[in-house]
Amino acid sequence: MPQSPPTVRAAAAVQAAEAAIVCAASVLAAVDAVAGRSYQADSGIALTLIGFGTAVALGYVAVGLARARRWSRTPALLTQLFTGIVGIYLVEGHRYAWGVPVLAAMAAGFVTLLVPPSLRALTTGPAVGSGHAAPDGSPVPPAGPPGSAR
């Protein structure tokens, strides 16, 4: 398997860092829930479980990026979008120590995913499940509507 471009590996590192941050925030939520400092005990437990599930999903996407899997591009881009939204809320809430690094991570994630080497690595190649190819390896165009002449 050819090695992925450095930009894709950098995007995977950003994604993994975001997964680690969500995991750390989930640990803090769990500590607050156990200590009785949550608004309600049930919501603290739910927030903790959702946070850990999200961290696992983000980590899975980071692994997909590290392996330059095509499916990982869209979830990684959506992660950056939502990270940016959270960063904006933090900055608007005067939490600059949290908001500015979050926005920097979002910008790094977007840049590393959208530079040409990353786009080539994550968008080119044979489509999964197409299964149609001419003997020379070129793709066969899809058939037209039933009854139409080719």
> Residues 50, 56, 60, 63: what is their CA dihedral angle, to the nearest 10 degrees?
140
DSSP annotation of 5 reads P
Q: Is the pLDDT of residue 130 over 60?
A: no
DSSP annotation of 72 reads G
Average pLDDT value for residue range 135-150: 60
- Can you give the pTM of this predicted structure? 0.76
What does the domain layout of the chain look like in residue ranges? Answer: 6-122
The mean of the pLDDT values for the chain is: 86
Closest CA relative to residue 62, chosen from 90, 20, 30? 20
Round to whole Å and give the CA distance between 4 and 127. 18
Average pLDDT value for residue range 1-7: 79
Average pLDDT value for residue range 45-69: 94
